[in-house]
Amino acid sequence: MVKVKICGICHESEIAIMNELVPDFVGFVFARKSRHFISPEHASFLRSKLKPGIKSVGVFNNESLHGVAMCVETAGLSMVQLHGDETGEYIAALREYVRCPIMKVYKVVNPIDAEKALYSTADYVMLDGGSAGDGKTFDWSMLGRMRRKFFLSGGLNPDNIQQALLLDPQPYALSANSGVESHRTKDFRKVMKFIQTVKSFKKSGNR
């Protein structure tokens, strides 16, 4: 059963959309170079409005261990997503600071990148194309040897989600950001179509 993550939540109006459509995860971005960046305090406010059961994920890019831990505590995050050059040693050290699951993002340019994700010590891995939130897909045929649960990201939108659901191996979760936006904010209709496509796929029993 494929799960859904909607990333880059910035506004209370977007929380209202999440509460109505209920994805499995929402993402708050703490990478300062991203246009979706918000402060830990604002993330805490938004999370307080979030319906119970929707998990909150904090997105970081080469942040200090203390900085990640502070955001996790302040915002009450359910998971950490590392989108920079964080190493296995960094992940091991971060486990001493946080008690929530850790996800490492791998930018897939060639099959070797996907292979690296197989041996990651993170609790979860995400396979992405390009930079965070830039809306670029990658060649999904490079996923053929992925034999662990993975999040798929990069350029996902309501128009290509069906193709992503038919991948073998099938992703554990699909993560969308700019692909479900209009005018740089989450679009109710696009988010609804994205989530409904996944849910209807589950019900149909397709693989």
CA Rg, the chain, in Å?
16
Question: Is 7 a known active-site residue?
Answer: yes
Partners of residue 127 on adjacent β-strands: 106, 152
**At residue 177, what are phi and psi to the nearest 5 degrees?**
-135, -95
Q: Are the C-beta atoms of residues 80 and 98 closer than 8 Å to each other? A: yes
Catalytic residue selected from 10, 85, 123, 128: 128
Question: Is 128 a known active-site residue?
Answer: yes
Q: Calculate the alpha carbon distances from 108 to 15, 96, 102, 138, 181 in Å.
A: 30, 29, 19, 7, 24
What is the set of active-site residues?
Answer: 7, 128
